[in-house]
Structure 1
Amino acid sequence: MPPEKPVPALANFEKAFRPRSVAVIGASDDATRISGRALHYLIRAGYRGAIYPVNNRRETVQGLRAYAALADVPQTPDIALIALPSRLLEGALTECLEQGVGAAVVYAAGFAETGSDGGALQDRLAAIAAAGDIRLFGPNCLGLLHTDSGFAGTFSSAFDTALPTPGGAAIVSQSGAYGGHLAYLCEKRGIGVGYWVSTGNEAGTDVADCIHWLALQDDVSVILAYAEGVRDGETFRAALQAAHDHRKPVVFMKVGQSAAGATAAQSHTASLAGTDAVFDALCRQYGVYRAQTTQEQVDVAYAADRGRFPTGRSLGIITVSGGFGVQLCDAAERGGLDVTPLAESGRAKLRELNPMGSDNNPCDTTAGWLNDMSLITKTFDVMYSDGGYDSIIGSFTMLPDSPTYGEEIRKAIGAGTSEFLDRPTALCMEARTEVVRAYERDGFLVFDDSERAVTALSALAYFAVHFDTPVVRRDRKRTTRAPLGSDPLSEHAAQQLLTEAGIPFPASTLVTHPDDVAKAAADLGFPLVMKIVSPDIAHKTEIGGVVLAVEDEAQATAAYATVLERSTAAAPSARIEGVLLGVMCPKGVETIVGVTNDPVFGPTVMFGLGGVQAELFRDVAFRVGELDRDEALKLIREIRGYPLLTGFRGASAADIHGLADVLVAASRFAVTHANGLDSLELNPVVVLGEGHGVLALDALITVRPDPREH
């Protein structure tokens, strides 16, 4: 990979995380106070840079010379830790600007989280920082640290005992308390943490900025992130792109759900596409692993930190008890790992090696190997050599902790896996911490539960696949308002726009006078569907504005009058453009294709089964931004109903590639018109037999009001 070009938006991160000098403004002599803790941590950790306490009431602070003002400090500090009340912050940050400080941390609370007055003060701090290119963290944050240099710009109680053990993990959290909790759990789990940062109210620096910079650091092996919300979709996507490009696993805990910006009453798509679902889709696009629990987040980070990723999802299982083998098989199925049978050559070797054990996958060795440890060594070798498994889980209960057998077991497993250290081997056991650490030093992943082990290995396989899968990059130039305008669009108008965009519809014509109905119907051919056309009627079926299976000219004339009458009665103020006559579509698999314009991430494509199934079962999948054919095909395969498109129970396979083309066209249309589009829905989209195409039967486009009109 070519050298990384500097990213202007990431200026002064180096000064923030690896400063050569630190000023602590408002430093207290009392190491138990918030204003004294960061200084205490810096001294205790043996920070190798210069430390300048700023306190105009004392000559020394915690044994160090104090300075009355930042201007008195003998050199310009790289970073300032500001431990002052909110009323003094503008002056302190302005002084940082005047002295050329590169980064600043504001610990104090009482800003945007408290209301408009606090929000206004926060905005002023952000403006000061921006004017001086100061990398600002906070306010209302717990700061940051870099363990290798001993830099501790934080007052978090998570570090009362010591800074984390240095390592490849990086923790980024909007919540300082959660970030501190993660650091504590990582230490307990044996995960070294090199970088830790709490972003708080994010007046200047957000989680995305931190992820982006950390993804570029050679000494980062995995990033643990926590956020309650994302404020800038483009910045966030750029950060995930950087992590993907540099093969840095990101394990994300995202909490909270909110409604999408689109109006749910106007579109099934909008009612299904909450912001949380969009975030989920973004994670899948960029290969970010979204953890559901804190334990899962730490387990996955623990596994990813080792840097060994399986090339596939095949799993070998070795146990000392058949019951544990069954348990692991069940967990593997839930985790999407394949417990494939062992090749016959391997089975023959196992039968000869251990006649009392099983000869397949999972392999139950029974307890006989305790008399001959080489059986374990040879079993691992056979499972890897002949089974070709991408990873193996060995379940050994509490035996590794045994004073009698423990050390010999570790040596035996190590000998059996020494030729296969390019792939992860996980062991399920209960043992003392020092025993577990010995196995970890030998390169093994250790878990106390089958489900946790499988989840971690499944996550590693997930990362491996995504690292090798290119991500579609958004073309930011493709945005315009025209020709959507700001007025509501009828189905006929929507179809005209979408047809030009490459989305196929059945042949149709708009009729505006009863005298023209018979000829228009005859020209199209029967059977026909007839629908009212009005920009003010989104759901035509609900008001009786649709007539199906029109078989001749007489029925067409009657249907024309019927839909007009029903529509006028149900919506007397609606603007009526006419009646749309369309050729009835052949039978196929009904699906739904939609786009919402998410307020943070922009156009987001939704795909699912058509009719009520998408809304009833929520069997839908999402992607953010413009798709290519490969990404569209992956999206189609994500829904649970995908087998219905491949020929379920003897049915003919559907035209999946034609469907992918529709998804690509819809995404391109949405990105092109992102400034004016609110939502787009094609429902149903009928997928015909393989090679016979796809037809969208109904189209709904809602537009955003033109801000220039307000």
Structure 2
Amino acid sequence: MTTLDDLLNPRSIAIVGASDDPTRIGGRPLSHMIRQRFAGPVYPVNPKRDRVQGLQAYPSLAEIPDGIDFALIAVPAPLVAEQVRLAAARGAKTALIFSSGFAEAGAEGARLQDEVAAAGRAGGIRVLGPNCLGLFNAEAGFYPTFSSTIDRATPVPGGISIASQSGAYGSHIYMASHARGLGIRYWVTTGNEVDVSTPEVIRLLAEHDDVHTIMAYAESVKDGPALVEALETARANRKPVVMMKVGRSAVGAAAASSHTASLAGEDAVYDAVIRQHGAWRARSTEEMLDLAYAARPRIYPAGRRLGLVTISGGAGVLMADVAEAEGLDVAPMPEQSQAEMRAILPFAAPRNPVDVTAQLFNDLSLIPRFTRTMLDRGGYDGIIGFWTSVAGSPILGRPLLAHLTETMADYPDRLFLHVMLAPEEIRAAYEAAGFPCFEDPSRAVIAMGLLMRFAEAFAAGRPEAPPLPAPADLGAGPLGEREAKRLLAAAGLPMVPDRLATTPEEAAAAARALGGPVAIKLASPDIAHKTEIGGVALGIEAPAAAAAAHERIVAAARLARPEARVAGTLVSPMVSGGVECLLGARNDPVFGPVVAFGLGGIFAEVLRDVSLRRAPFGPAVAREMIAGLKGAALLAGARGQPPADLAALAATISRFSAFAAANAHQIESVEMNPLRALPEGCLALDALIIRREDPA
């Protein structure tokens, strides 16, 4: 198995296609490593020159006298596979391919890419790329990349690393990080991902002790389970992964697929999976960098209670507004503590935000005294201080830092972010003391909120998955509503009872036996959406009305779909009360079975108020799905209605997820819709199962 050292810390390197010109693609990596004093031997391979950039060159990999660990390949696409085979023969563990002209270029390029993949597998060598900008290990001076950013911004090793499918955007993230003063230790771009993928790089980084935060960029993911394992590895090791996954829009998704020649899963599924497994999907590059910067102290607040201390009432209100929008708890200080703070400073506003006013200029000791009170009495998990340009004052800035450093030494588990406008040397002093600094108070609040979310994810750990039932026996016949209900009921899922009527007389008898109002629906494996053809009758009271409804529904089906198989109608009791929900699952092409839960009617169809999770999962995750709906209050008993049985609902969703996972190999999608969440239990009124091979 490839390790991070195999990929990023080889002892010896060969560069196939090495150029004597340090500005060319084949010359830049050699130039970088000469300047950065890479410790191991570097063997340029160039059949036209005896020396390349002052180093002895070799006409081919076969003529290098010693073995190699790493081969960098920068030759035309048709020649690459042979170089991979030669590298493997010389003992290389990894090959990095700059060359383009592969799957991103069409059918012939795809064939060449397949040839490269086969060469790598046959030789037992891992391949990074092709169509790849390269990587670096700043600590080791290892720079197999032709990125020009290294010329303008020499990396400074730190605890942050970058995994990016895109080379150019990966360079952008690196340059922006460098400008923010973020030390980047490892930077890896994966290109077309013929072998080594972005998820695998994330996992390798997550397993390494000298990485504390991972920034990732992906256009598509070919192996969903590999991404899940990578994110869970990072979660287990308490390492935030902040991920930029592009392709949200239909146009963006098409562009990403064209660029990488790989399939993209539905965007909402990516969003749900990234969060489900403890990572964060960045909404902007700025947010990605803010999170990585704020995470440098490696303090993840244990809750969402946020204290705000400020010298500006207006700034306090602004931050409180942003905090509420981010789901943070800006709880007020206890009344007794507020009184104590007023005794110290009568004109202070000590509620939270705590406004120490301009009195700060006269008495800097107010800050440590108020801070201790907020942490001891208010119980805040994190604090943000707004000092504007005061912290940058040559008179006040460093004494304020001294007070804060002494105070926070007693609270190593609490994070204190600062909002200030200050010269670089003062900002650097605050950062060296473990205090991240922001100019924008809104960004500081958002970064704090993200760290609080990571703390929750780390504490929760990997969700426990329920045991899977045995796969269902779908049989050989068609799967209509009745068959779907039977299969789901056998898996322990709550289904409304029904009776099959093949004649009007049987429909009348079924209505009579069930008593009270009944629902009558078309029974046909070929017509999934019965309402659209007049295949549903609700609230039927009398047996005679049931017989008439049966005749009407069967006639409508034969008129609308003469070729459809019609077994008759299903008669079942009407179920009233509760909240109408939908519960479904489908096989995502990247992540496999994904469960969707939401409220019925316009909530799902118009408002898109649906929670998604990758199956299978337990009741705790199902509870999160329920709570995450905008309309969750309806299930809690809004407007005087009785609350739904949330425990039963969560258990049903979890059991449904296990059914979907156990049958993913044979079921394309499955639905229980509508599902009634009742005051006691829940009940599905309809069901649909589509086989994987079924063209429907």
TM over 0.5, shorter chain:
yes
The 5 A counterparts of 1:189-588 are: 189-257=180-248, 275-472=266-463, 483-484=473-474, 488-588=478-578
- Residue number in structure 2 paired with 1:638: 628
Alpha-carbon spacing, 1:651–1:516, altered in 2? closer, same or farther (3 Å): closer
21, 28, 31: which is aligned to 1:40?
31
Q: Please identify, of 570-579 and 82-91, the stretch whose mean Cα deviation from structure 2 is larger.
A: 82-91
Count of aligned pairs between the two proteins: 682
CA distance in 2, matches of 1:142, 1:168: 22
1:684 to 2:645 alignment: no
CA distance in 2, matches of 1:486, 1:333: 55
> Which amino acid in the other structure matches residue 433 of structure 2?
D
CA distance in 1, matches of 2:592, 2:283: 25
Greater RCO (Cα-Cα under 8 Å, separation 6 or more): 1
1:695 to 2:686 alignment: no
Secondary structure at 1:190 match in 2:
coil
How far the C-alpha of 1:162 sits from its partner, in A, is: 4.4
Partners of 2:465 and 2:618 within 8 A in 1 = no
589, 595, 598: which is aligned to 2:579?
589
State the TM-score, normalized to the length of structure 2: 0.95
CA distance in 2, matches of 1:475, 1:549: 38
> Which amino acid in the other structure matches residue 273 of structure 2?
L
Alpha-carbon spacing, 1:473–1:646, altered in 2? closer, same or farther (3 Å): closer
Q: Please identify, of 430-439 and 523-532, the stretch whose mean Cα deviation from structure 2 is larger.
A: 430-439
Partners of 2:4 and 2:208 within 8 A in 1 = no
> Which amino acid in the other structure matches residue 392 of structure 2?
D
Q: Which runs of 5+ in 1 are unaligned?
A: 1-7, 260-272
Alpha-carbon spacing, 1:313–1:79, altered in 2? closer, same or farther (3 Å): same
Partners of 2:160 and 2:215 within 8 A in 1 = yes
639, 650, 654: which is aligned to 1:664?
654
CA distance in 2, matches of 1:515, 1:149: 84
Secondary structure at 1:35 match in 2:
coil
How far the C-alpha of 1:421 sits from its partner, in A, is: 2.8
Q: Which runs of 5+ in 2 are unaligned?
A: 251-263
Partners of 1:222 and 1:301 within 8 A in 2 = yes
Partners of 1:56 and 1:67 within 8 A in 2 = yes
CA distance in 1, matches of 2:469, 2:23: 55
- Residue number in structure 2 paired with 1:50: 41
How far the C-alpha of 1:487 sits from its partner, in A, is: 6.1
CA distance in 2, matches of 1:518, 1:110: 69
1:83 to 2:89 alignment: no
- Residue number in structure 2 paired with 1:262: none
- Residue number in structure 1 paired with 2:100: 109
Secondary structure at 2:606 match in 1:
helix
- Residue number in structure 2 paired with 1:133: 124
How far the C-alpha of 1:349 sits from its partner, in A, is: 2.6
- Residue number in structure 1 paired with 2:255: none
641, 655, 658: which is aligned to 1:651?
641
> Which amino acid in the other structure matches residue 577 of structure 1?
A
Query: Deviation digits for residues 357-413 of structure 1, max 9, x if unmatched?
Result: 212211111111211211122121221122110000101111122223222222233
Alpha-carbon spacing, 1:165–1:335, altered in 2? closer, same or farther (3 Å): same
Identity %: 45
CA distance in 2, matches of 1:274, 1:682: 23
> Which amino acid in the other structure matches residue 563 of structure 2?
S
Q: Please identify, of 332-341 and 470-479, the stretch whose mean Cα deviation from structure 2 is larger.
A: 470-479
CA distance in 2, matches of 1:515, 1:346: 77
> Which amino acid in the other structure matches residue 79 of structure 1?
F
Query: Deviation digits for residues 408-450 of structure 1, max 9, x if unmatched?
Result: 2222332332312322111111222222111111111111111
CA distance in 2, matches of 1:183, 1:140: 19
Partners of 1:593 and 1:663 within 8 A in 2 = yes
Alpha-carbon spacing, 1:449–1:312, altered in 2? closer, same or farther (3 Å): same
How far the C-alpha of 1:476 sits from its partner, in A, is: 11
CA distance in 2, matches of 1:280, 1:386: 38
Partners of 2:311 and 2:358 within 8 A in 1 = yes
CA distance in 2, matches of 1:457, 1:179: 25
How far the C-alpha of 1:488 sits from its partner, in A, is: 4.7
40, 60, 67: which is aligned to 2:51?
60
CA distance in 2, matches of 1:471, 1:688: 30
Alpha-carbon spacing, 1:350–1:367, altered in 2? closer, same or farther (3 Å): same
Partners of 2:431 and 2:437 within 8 A in 1 = yes
How far the C-alpha of 1:475 sits from its partner, in A, is: 8.5
Partners of 2:153 and 2:175 within 8 A in 1 = no
Secondary structure at 1:305 match in 2:
coil
> Which amino acid in the other structure matches residue 635 of structure 1?
M
Alpha-carbon spacing, 1:477–1:101, altered in 2? closer, same or farther (3 Å): farther
**What is the aligned-residue RMSD (CA, Å)?**
1.9
Secondary structure at 1:701 match in 2:
strand
Query: Deviation digits for residues 318-338 of structure 1, max 9, x if unmatched?
Result: 111100011011010111111
Secondary structure at 1:29 match in 2:
coil
Query: Deviation digits for residues 123-180 of structure 1, max 9, x if unmatched?
Result: 1011111112212111000111111111111111121134311011110000011111
> Which amino acid in the other structure matches residue 547 of structure 2?
T
> Which amino acid in the other structure matches residue 398 of structure 1?
S
- Residue number in structure 1 paired with 2:604: 614
Partners of 1:478 and 1:671 within 8 A in 2 = no
CA distance in 2, matches of 1:487, 1:457: 56
Secondary structure at 1:148 match in 2:
coil
Query: Deviation digits for residues 175-219 of structure 1, max 9, x if unmatched?
Result: 011111111111121221111000000011110111111111111
- Residue number in structure 2 paired with 1:265: none
Partners of 1:676 and 1:706 within 8 A in 2 = no
CA distance in 2, matches of 1:193, 1:545: 62
How far the C-alpha of 1:74 sits from its partner, in A, is: 3.0
CA distance in 1, matches of 2:189, 2:289: 17
> Which amino acid in the other structure matches residue 102 of structure 1?
K
How far the C-alpha of 1:274 sits from its partner, in A, is: 6.8
Secondary structure at 1:150 match in 2:
coil
CA distance in 2, matches of 1:485, 1:149: 60
- Residue number in structure 1 paired with 2:595: 605
